[in-house]
Amino acid sequence: MSIKPELLSPAGGWDALVAAVQNGADAVYLGGSRFSARAGAANFNDETMQRAVDYCHLRGVRIFVAVNTLIKQKEMTAALEYAAFLYGIGVDALIVQDIGLAKAVSERMPDFPLHASTQMTVHNIPGAKALERMGFRRIVLARELSAGQIRRIRQAVSAELEVFVHGALCCSFSGQCLLSSFLGGRSGNRGRCAQPCRLPYTLERDGKTIKSGYLLSPKDLCLLGKLCELEDMGIDSLKIEGRLKRAEYVAIVTQIYRKYIDSGRRPNEQDLQTLMGAFNRSGFTDGYFSGKIGASMMSFQTPSNVADESFPKNVAQTFLPQANFRKVAIRGRCVITAGHSAVLELFDGDGNAVKAEGFTPTDVPNPAFNADRVRSQLLKFGATPFRLDGLELSVEDGIAMPVSEINALRRDAAEKLAAVRVMSKRRQTSGIDPQAAVIRLSKTQKSGNRSKPLDFTVDVRTLQQAEAVLSYQPLRLYVPPALAGLLGGRGGRTQVVAKLPDIMPDDADKYLNNLSAEAVCTGIFGLGCELATARTVYGDFRLNLCNTHAAFVCLQAGFKTVTLSCELDLKEIADLCAGSTADFEVIAYGHLPLMMIKNCVIRSCGGKCDKAKEGYCLADRKKERLPLICEPHSCSNLLLNAKPVYMADKLADIQNSGVHTVRLQFTVENAARCDKIMRAYTGEAQQKDPLALFEQNGFTRGHFYRGVE
């Protein structure tokens, strides 16, 4: 018989926490006042976090705290101090995105369970295996996976797997979206997503309109009808999204999923309609899970709830302050004899036991005092979170004891058990040193000499682009794997590196068996770890590296060098580089990819999805046109920034930050344009003034000067 999976519910505030617990969640996840990917939720300060942990543990519910933002170098000590606080108060697990924070926590608090956030974009077997080796107890899989992909990952790893079953879907792979970051300076990787994906866009090709609407707004996910399949797979946790949702929503969704996890039945129409009334965007979808992606997944007409939220009238009763529907089963043993204090022992299912002693009964007989009367009073745990399921009772004949004393004995024992259940989860923190000294990195050969000349690397997508830049002899040329073999003998000083797709399915071995390149670039941590045993591996910017701890994890795993996050400003880059001899890389030119989209926008909108051609873009409300590229290996898209990052006239600032390798990333540029940009960056052009290459406001400095919230 399969084990029932855990039901994991969101808690954006106190009422939602109570709603989740009282309506049947096995565990809740929430964020604190710091480092949470849902900064817009009410969240929990240190005092209410302690209260929340105690509330859950008293009622047998696990509590996971999301510290799932990217951590900048200067924040690592504070993040570790916060993790130590959560560890001490008994939080059951820490949900993290930043691999540097994960490493630092595991070194200082090795028994603190770590869950890999969906922000880590784990979508294949190598990714899951790598995190399992790092010591992650649980992996939250990417929401874009099909049932077959989930099943194969389940069969390959023993770590716990968590799958989203209900709630909002992002258009982009989580952890790989820079749309809010570059359009408004509010980073989803920092918990500040402004959700520009829920705004209207127009799909155009070569200036012609194909479709207008909310083209990046998916329907909400609902896998209520797939629970038995997920259970049969061996999935450990079923997650409801919604830390920004109302307590009523949390209550009703938790209640309904609890019902069908326990019963194993197919959902009835009434419950499906109740879920629809709680929140939906033009209905629900199970598209990724079922493999039926396309227009049916999308809510083109509206980005928000299609009708007023409606909840059953009594749902608010489940999260009132006095709500007490969630009961913990306990057992008791009571002995009442003449000349001795009455004794009541209570036992829970977690191995906790307490003993209360009370009134010494008199030997004056009272006909009203008997075992049945004692039993009826001891069963009255109504105001507590306990339910007495078994009682061994021994009451001597011919004695008497006031009912008030029996009740006092019961209350005393219940209070002691409550205290033990809470305190048994807390941990000692006295031996933990949260101070996070900068890790000195010396894995690579380059020195930290700031006067050293800059090296250039170039990233291209086409043979024409590659031929246009090779004469400039960049240090490395990143090319699609199909071009690596063609260019391998033409590089000269330049090392030709096969840049792997940003998303690789779990059958990647078939793809890699045909790969002849000796050097690869990848943003998939687990894949890089596997390839580093036989090839030279360069880490791409999609690794989201923001601190030396994270960089160290990659270098220790065999990456030769790594590219830093595009969301760091120059001061933050300097903080990371300080005291380090590692040679990091930054992207100093290019229309940066803002989204990786599995559900092809072009196909969904009725366009002709021919992977070899371009010309598509999404126009926003400000008439900015964001290029939309079809990925050649799959029916998926890259959405690019309308304006390229340009830093040719600011290279000294990059050099002064301690970085000595800059990348120029070409995507939609033709060969002539690539040549002009190369000339500006390599010093062969007399003019580096941006206005010589771009119209006014036709470029951006990225985050080099403004950074992100």
The tokens describing 9, both together, are 């519910």
Residue 99: per-residue pLDDT: 97
CA dihedral for 679, 683, 687, 691, sign (positive or negative): positive
The tokens describing 619, both together, are 């126009």
Residue 209 lies in a domain: no
- Residues 166 and 691: their CA atoms lie apart, in Å, by 49
What is the pTM (predicted TM-score) of this model? 0.94
CB 192 within 8 A of CB 186: yes
Residue 441 lies in a domain: no
Residues 550 and 460 in one domain: yes
- Residues 290 and 287: their CA atoms lie apart, in Å, by 5
**What's the whole-number average pLDDT of the chain?**
92
pLDDT class of 672 with cuts at 50, 70, 90:
very high
Based on its alpha-carbon atoms, the radius of gyration of the chain, rounded to whole angstroms, reads 29
pLDDT class of 490 with cuts at 50, 70, 90:
confident
* Number of domain units in the chain: 3
Last residue of a domain, one of 423, 445, 474: 423
Residues 565 and 499 in one domain: yes
pLDDT of residue 696 exceeding 80? no
Last residue of a domain, one of 293, 319, 345: 319
Residues 92 and 161 in one domain: yes
- Residues 619 and 48: their CA atoms lie apart, in Å, by 44
pLDDT of residue 437 exceeding 80? no
Residue 611 lies in a domain: no
- Residues 342 and 360: their CA atoms lie apart, in Å, by 6
249 — phi, psi (to 5°)? -60, -50
- Residues 121 and 182: their CA atoms lie apart, in Å, by 20
Beta 585-590 vs 138-140: how paired, if at all? Answer: unpaired
pLDDT class of 297 with cuts at 50, 70, 90:
very high
For the chain, how many residues are written?
709
Residue 54 lies in a domain: yes
Q: Choose the weakest-confidence range: 1-10, 157-166, 221-230, 631-640.
A: 631-640
∠ Cα 72 78 84 (to 5°): 125
Residue range 97-153, pLDDT digits in tens: 999 999 999 999 999 999 999 999 999 999 999 999 999 999 999 999 999 999 999
Residue 639 lies in a domain: no
Residue 445: per-residue pLDDT: 36
Q: Quick one: residue 245, left, alpha or beta (phi over 0 = left, psi -120 to 50 = alpha)?
A: beta
Which domain does 397 fall in, by range?
328-423
CB 30 within 8 A of CB 247: no
- Residues 318 and 320: their CA atoms lie apart, in Å, by 6
Residue 442 lies in a domain: no
Q: 């879920």: which residue's tokens?
A: 275
Residues 282 and 334 in one domain: no
Residue 440: per-residue pLDDT: 62
Residues 24 and 80 in one domain: yes
| List of E strands, 62-158 | 62-67, 93-96, 114-116, 138-140
Closest listed residue to residue 154, CA positions, set 129, 182, 174: 129
Strand partners, 590: 645
Residues 519 and 655 in one domain: yes
Residue range 627-671, pLDDT digits in tens: 999 887 677 899 999 999 999 999 999 999 999 999 999 999 999
Q: 């419950």: which residue's tokens?
A: 271
Residues 224 and 335 in one domain: no
Residue 576 lies in a domain: yes
CATH code: domain of residue 135: 3.20.20.70
Residues 129 and 36 in one domain: yes
Residue 137: per-residue pLDDT: 98
> How many Cβ atoms are within 10 Å of 69's Cβ, its own excluded?
28
Residue 476 lies in a domain: yes
Residues 299 and 360 in one domain: no
Residues 63 and 136 in one domain: yes
Closest listed residue to residue 114, CA positions, set 88, 92, 141: 92
Cα distances (Å, whole numbers) of residue 700 to 560, 624, 643, 691, 696: 30, 13, 6, 12, 10
CB 28 within 8 A of CB 17: yes
Residues 491 and 549 in one domain: yes
Residues 354 and 254 in one domain: no
Mean pLDDT on 191-216? 94
